[in-house]
Amino acid sequence: MSTETIVETESTNNDDMARTPVLEITDLTVTFPGMNNNPDVKAVRGVSYAVHSGEVLGIVGESGSGKSVSSMAAMGLLPEHAEITGSVLLHGEEILGKKDTEMARKRGKVISMVFQDPLSGLTPVYTVGDQLAEAFLVHNPKAGKVKAHDRAVELLSLVGIPNPEARYRSFPHEFSGGMRQRVMIAMAMANNPDVIICDEPTTALDVTIQAQILDLLRTAQRETGAAIVMITHDLGVVAGFVDRLLVMYAGRPVEIGSVDEIYYGSRMPYTMGLLGAVPRMDLEDQGALVPIKGNPPSLTDLPSGCPFAPRCPIVRPECEESEPELLTIGARASETEGDQDENTDAQRVACIRSAEIEANGWNAQDIYPVPEIPELEKATGDRESLPEVLRVQDLIKHHPLMKGAVFRRRVGTVSAVDGIDFDIREGETLALVGESGCGKSSTLMEVMSLDRPQRGSVEVMGREVGTLSRSEKFGLRRDMQIVFQDPMSSLDPRMPVFDIIAEPLRTHKVAAREVTERVYELISLVGLNIEHATRFPAEFSGGQRQRIGIARALALEPKLLVLDEPVSALDVSIQAGVINLLEELQAKLGLAYLFVAHDLSVVRHIADRVAVMYLGKIVEIGDTKSIYTQPSHPYTQALLSAIPVPDPERERTRTHIVLEGDLPSPANPPSGCSFRTRCQKFITLSESDQEQCMSVEPTIQPTNGGDQGSACHFAERRSDLV
Amino acid sequence: MGKFLARRLLNYVVLIFLATSFAYLLAATNLQPRVYFEQMQPPPAPEVVNAQLDTLNLNDQTPLAERYVTWLKGAVTGDFGKNIQGGDVSSQMWMKAGVTLRLITVATILGSALGIAIGAYAAVRQYRAFDKAATGASFFVLSIPTVVIAIVIQVIAVAINDGLGFTFLKYVGEYSAGFQGNAWELLLNRIHHAILPTLVLSLALFAAFARYQRNMMLDVLGSDFVRTAMAKGLTRRRALFKHALRTALIPTITYFTFTFGALVSGSTFTEKIYGWHGMGAWLIDSISQQDVHVVAAVSWFMAVTIMAASFLSDILYAWLDPRVRV
Amino acid sequence: MSTVTETTPDVPTAPPAPNRMKDIARQLIETRRVIVGIVILVLLTLFAFLGPVISSWGVGERDYTALLEGLSPDHWFGTNRTGQDIFTQTTAGLQKSLLIGLLVALISTAMAAVIGAFAGYFGGFTDKALTWIADLALVLPNFVILAILSRHFVGNGGWLILVILLAVFSWMVTSKMVRGLTISLREREYIHAARFMGVPPHKIIFRHILPNMSSLLIADATIMVSAAIIGETALSYFGLGVQSPDISLGVVIADGASFATTAPWVFIFPTVLLVLLVLAVNMIGDGLRDALDPAAKSRRS
């Protein structure tokens, strides 16, 4: 079906090695046959691509687009019952349909893979070193244990594991996520393969660790000279990393071309929408995000025409007739025979209107209806005059650190939240940002619990929660509600949507008639249909579930909405819709948001003020614009600089500050300034200044006379980072 | 670590103490040793009965608290009193325990080894003929009470013996009564007797282990680490054997320990039906003979084995699984 | 899509009536094992309750003209050595065994669910205390206690005491499982959400936690039915289970065991029924677990 076919592979193989792609996939399809009368899942439907030695190919797509399955098929890692057709050539040799024993000789030697989740990717019962040595030994059985051990240690130091000789004997659970991913990369590099497939290698990691891993992958490519296939959903990660980009949707490639062509001249409405839906950390006033309506189609029941047609803003009746092929812009299916060879590297698009888009020079804003979001009337300038919705002072949350599953015992204290102050005014959004383990979620739980804090105070609507009686707390709960991160687990799977949204109302003894009315009102407020009321959460997509969660939180008309990573589990195209909804609700209902997130791009888009947390403390706080354009704390600077932006040209010219090492254990934070162990500024300081960092804990000091303040002895505003 | 272990052991001691005391008190109030003596032929004089009961510390005319304290004083020093015939309970207990342990050790090792092998292989061949057959067989065996298995196997043995015309399979007793011969012959004779009861016990265990191991194996089959192992260049078979099975064995081994502990009382039926004089059979007999001290001693022994087994399985778990290891 | 619809369409005034069981029922019907199990169980139940009625002999009644006789028009399943009609004895025994199994499963599952959920949800002292009680119940020599107390099972309703004792000694393992599940459910976001909207703990347990493990509880209860039936059979074999005049399958089998070779009908009929009963219950339980337990389902994918 799909077009790319290089015919003369055999002949060119010998005389022109450079021209032969290392890995070439043609017309690959993967179908998982349904069991027990379930329909077949057509996970991949005709994928073709080729990567040459030293080249980096990116494959982007949302969950379920078939991007991972196609590369698993190339590795021969799919379960036996998967039906695979097409061709996978490795150095011109067909490897599809080879026996497992033959494939095993290729895997890890010629073609290797880095997986997404380093947490479960290593066998828990063997040491890291042994698993690494095994990767070497399995392809060099004669090398012997000693040599394998040495190679493993060498690899560990190559990927930047400190003290590799000792770390050889560590078990996977003793490593942090970032270190495990390093080990996975070391494993993939062990036999100097010719292709490395990276399947979302940084998705499970924090931004500063992501920057380290991306750096490492660049090193790995340099060391091995391998071709890299980078699979991701993150348009920022690929922008500065890959040469060519393949966009997948519903198991099919919909656009392929060089990075610049795709980012600056996409001619496929889906890609255009995807790029428009990404919140940009580097743009000051992006305006409303481009939401793509609807959800990706189910792979068991695809529409007959273009799979994107039901969501496409410029759909035509012809789109539903047959699935468009991946062609050069403006070309027609009939004209393509024969002249493919010269054009393999040209941008190709699977859209019948590509020529029209090209001719008109449309971009996402032109073809997608962008919602008008009313601006909230804000009392300009003086936020001090607005009523306070939440004030947190010197809040502390320590909990015991337990060790051992069988012999549980306390081995220390974790300072999850270690003395933080902030306030939120009416109609304002404060974002708490930081990497995992920084204490942002603990802060939020501590605020929501309404219990007396271990130290410090929490005031909601001007009332100190520690002093309230049980019934007063119950009443106060009406004013503050929460929306959670995971749309899978935030709704009781056994309750229909109606009961879920009605629960807060019923708990607070609202009359039955009013409950019914209010629930239906809320359902339409968040953009769902009345018929959805009888359905169960499992019948909804992630974005819809998040809307149900928002409806539930709004039921009691709270004044403060606490949002715990509300969009981080959603695909980009869905995320934009939810972000727009949140902005709209805030403007409409005058809500105050406490927004917890690790994604700084989303935060820039939605927050008025930002507080950056590190190891249980706020290191910098201020209005969004100041923080993003002139961050003064080294950590904020590193954080902002670590985030890749979805803009290839800009990404190529940016210098990233890559922090050293991992987050220290919150059970045993460094003395003085807790960031000093990883601080890029600390190294440049004089010895006496370093002494100060090590012994004196910095407190938040105003840095520009206004709202911005940071906890660094040597704070200095920088504006060259994004 | 040391403090933690000590606390846990103390908790076990308290639990064992409570369980044994409870059993003693229940037996002392509900069993009627007096009746045992009164029914003797010829019936002894009431004074004689009382004197007998007094020497055994079983007289229901003595206040319960007093009897309990007397018994307890002995029990803490390892003396569980006299049985109703006047024999020493403690020394008998170790003999009976030996019989039971001999029986169940072989049976558990045999049954679990077979069950693990078949269960693991069935998981790898999920939904294939082997899996279906193995799953069906273990499912069927699990639905039959041990008592019935024991009897049916005995019936079959009788039928085979009748058919052959000589005693091919022995199904009563631990060894032939009055058997004369050298140590080697005696051993053979014992093994000959042990075949059937071992078979009965291992059959049920095999079924349980096959099911358990299959589930554990299926849990890890789709794991990311198996995929990683294959991506390194291991074949599917080797990845499954070296990475999946090794991980899936951990819960099974702790399950094994636990089963072993539970089997001390679980083998009662087999012992009784095949005429082995082990712990379980002893308990049943002592209840019908109104033998309070034996009941208490057996209860103590069973509580100890259960606790020891659960403790051991925890230790094993921690030792085998580096995630749990401290 | 994200634009808020200003015009509220005709808002229904009554809450909808969703059908929770619909989904589960459909899944069950798709599991063949469950259907087979249910059919066998229904037939056995009919047999158990109609048998004593259509038989011309009373339970325990003796026909001194037919001692240990084989199958005949008078005695469909033959008679035992005291002249009791095996058909009558077996069906009456089946009836009691069924009742015992169901009641024990019901009581012990309820205990397990409540104790496990409270221990898991509240944690701290409640958890320690309840876990300790469960440990104690595990260590108590249940067999000894049942055996010693067996003489109280005599008389009208005496078997109910047996039921309660069996239940008291079989909730612990399930309750540990429920506790573990509760601990993981407790951190689910919808539980947090309920807590943050002010729903009191006991309501959270009964509204959100237990319903979400109901499938597991149902499956486990089913397995418990068969475990109780097997347990009762074993006790009865030593004469420590159901006492005369009550009769259970275990009692009938125990009576017949010694005649298994000489008069097979005394042993075969009750045994086959027992195995069939346990098998049917196990099939239902196993099928239920597969159909309802997401963890088990992932194994099947």
Q: Does C197 touch chain A (CB under 8 A)?
A: yes
- Give chain B positions within 8 Å (CB) of C145: 22-23, 26
Does the distance separating the beta carbons of A519 and C15 come in below 8 Å?
Answer: yes
- Closest-CA residue to A35 (of B206, C31, B316): C31
Residue B248: closest C-alpha in chain A: A125
Q: Does C21 touch chain A (CB under 8 A)?
A: no
Does the distance separating the beta carbons of C4 and A527 come in below 8 Å?
Answer: yes
Name chain A's partners: 3 or more CB pairs within 8 A: B, C
Which among C145, C230, C283 is the nearest to B26, CB-wise? C145
Half-sphere exposure of A599 (CA within 13 A, CB side): 23
Q: What is the pLDDT of residue A332?
A: 61
pLDDT band at C10 (very low <50, low <70, confident <90, very high): low
Which H, E and C letters describe B253-310, residue by residue? HHHHHHHHHHHHHHCHHHHHHCCCCCHHHHHHHHHHCCCHHHHHHHHHHHHHHHHHHH
Percent of chain C residues past pLDDT 70, beyond the cut: 86
* Structure tokens given for A335: 């004209």
- Give chain C positions within 8 Å (CB) of A35: 301
* Structure tokens given for C216: 């597991």
- Give chain C positions within 8 Å (CB) of A494: 20, 211-212, 214
- Give chain C positions within 8 Å (CB) of A535: 18
Q: What is the pLDDT of residue A406?
A: 62
Chain C interface disruption, residue of B147, B279, B292, B301, most C CBs within 10 A: B147
Whether the pLDDT of residue C19 is over 60: the answer is: no
Does the distance separating the beta carbons of C197 and A371 come in below 8 Å?
Answer: no
Q: Rg of the Cα trace of chain B?
A: 24
- Closest-CA residue to A622 (of A524, A514, A567, A702): A702
pLDDT band at C298 (very low <50, low <70, confident <90, very high): very low
Which class for A667: exposed (0-12), middle (13-18), buried (19 or more C-beta within 10 A)? middle
CA distance C232 to A329: 78
Which among C15, C30, C197 is the nearest to A503, CB-wise? C197
Sequence-distant (6+) residues with CB within 8 A of A588 are A374, C4
> Per this entry, what is the length of chain A?
722
Sequence-distant (6+) residues with CB within 8 A of A659 are A208, A211, A212, A638, A642, A678, A680
Does the distance separating the beta carbons of A477 and C15 come in below 8 Å?
Answer: no
- For chain C, give the mean pLDDT: 81
CB pairs under 8 A between A and B: 101
CA distance C268 to B148: 10
Chain A: closest CA distance from residue C183 (Å)? 14
Does the distance separating the beta carbons of B19 and C140 come in below 8 Å?
Answer: yes
Chain A: closest CA distance from residue C126 (Å)? 18
Whether the pLDDT of residue C299 is over 50: the answer is: no
Chain A: closest CA distance from residue B227 (Å)? 7
CA distance A91 to B90: 77
Cis check for the bond before B42: say yes or no (omega within 30 of 0). yes
pLDDT (tens digit per residue) in C30-65: 677 788 888 999 999 998 888 877 877 777 777 777
Q: What is the pLDDT of residue A407?
A: 64
Residue entry with tokens 């000279």: A225
Q: Are A65 and A8 in contact (CB under 8 A)?
A: no
pLDDT (tens digit per residue) in B21-65: 999 999 988 888 888 888 887 888 888 888 888 888 888 888 899
Chain C: closest CA distance from residue A527 (Å)? 6
Chain C interface disruption, residue of A494, A514, A605, most C CBs within 10 A: A494
Which among A101, A107, A404 is the nearest to B232, CB-wise? A107
Name chain B's partners: 3 or more CB pairs within 8 A: A, C
Q: Rounded mean pLDDT of C118-137? A: 91
Q: What is the pLDDT of residue B229?
A: 93
- Closest-CA residue to A132 (of A175, A167, A201, A184): A184
Between positions 214 and 243 of C, the ones with CB within 8 A of A are: 214
Which among C136, C149, C226 is the nearest to B143, CB-wise? C226
Q: What is the pLDDT of residue A209?
A: 86
ipTM of the complex: 0.81
Q: What is the pLDDT of residue A151?
A: 93
Which among B22, B287, B295 is the nearest to C140, CB-wise? B22
Does the distance separating the beta carbons of B139 and C286 come in below 8 Å?
Answer: yes
Does the distance separating the beta carbons of B230 and A125 come in below 8 Å?
Answer: no
C-beta atoms surrounding B151 within 10 Å? 24
Residue A561: closest C-alpha in chain C: C196
**Which one-letter DSSP state was computed for residue B68?**
H
Which segments of chain A have a pLDDT < 50? 1-17, 336-342, 379
Tell me the β-bridge partners of A90.
A23, A93
Q: What is the pLDDT of residue A591?
A: 92
Does the distance separating the beta carbons of C199 and A503 come in below 8 Å?
Answer: yes
* Structure tokens given for A149: 């051990």
Q: Does C32 touch chain A (CB under 8 A)?
A: no
Q: Where do the DSSP E strands lie in A656-713? A: 701-702, 709-710
Contacts 24+ apart (CB under 8 A), B141-144: B141/B203, B141/B204, B141/B206, B141/B207, B142/B204, B142/B207, B142/B208, B142/B211, B142/C282, B143/C226, B143/C275, B143/C278, B143/C279, B143/C282, B144/C275, B144/C278
Cis check for the bond before C245: say yes or no (omega within 30 of 0). yes
* Structure tokens given for C236: 């009865």
- Closest-CA residue to A236 (of A287, A195, A202): A202
Q: What is the pLDDT of residue C296?
A: 46
> Per this entry, what is the length of chain B?
326
Q: Where do the DSSP E strands lie in chain B? A: none
Does the distance separating the beta carbons of A125 and B250 come in below 8 Å?
Answer: yes
Q: Does C184 touch chain A (CB under 8 A)?
A: no
pLDDT (tens digit per residue) in C154-163: 777 788 888 9
Residue A456, Ramachandran bin (φ over 0: left; ψ between -120 and 50: alpha; else beta)? left
Contacts 24+ apart (CB under 8 A), A137-141: A138/A104, A138/A108, A138/B232, A138/B233, A138/B234, A139/A105, A139/A108, A139/A109, A139/A191, A139/B233, A140/A191
Q: Does B151 touch chain C (CB under 8 A)?
A: yes
- Give chain B positions within 8 Å (CB) of C253: 147-148
Chain A interface disruption, residue of B3, B7, B232, B242, most A CBs within 10 A: B232
Q: What is the pLDDT of residue A137?
A: 93
pLDDT (tens digit per residue) in B251-284: 888 788 878 877 887 888 888 888 888 888 888 8
CA distance A420 to A424: 13
Which segments of chain B have a pLDDT < 50? none
pLDDT (tens digit per residue) in C216-240: 788 788 888 888 998 888 888 888 8
Q: Are B241 and B113 in contact (CB under 8 A)?
A: no
Q: Does B27 touch chain C (CB under 8 A)?
A: yes
Chain C interface disruption, residue of B269, B299, B304, B307, most C CBs within 10 A: B299
Q: What is the pLDDT of residue C211?
A: 86
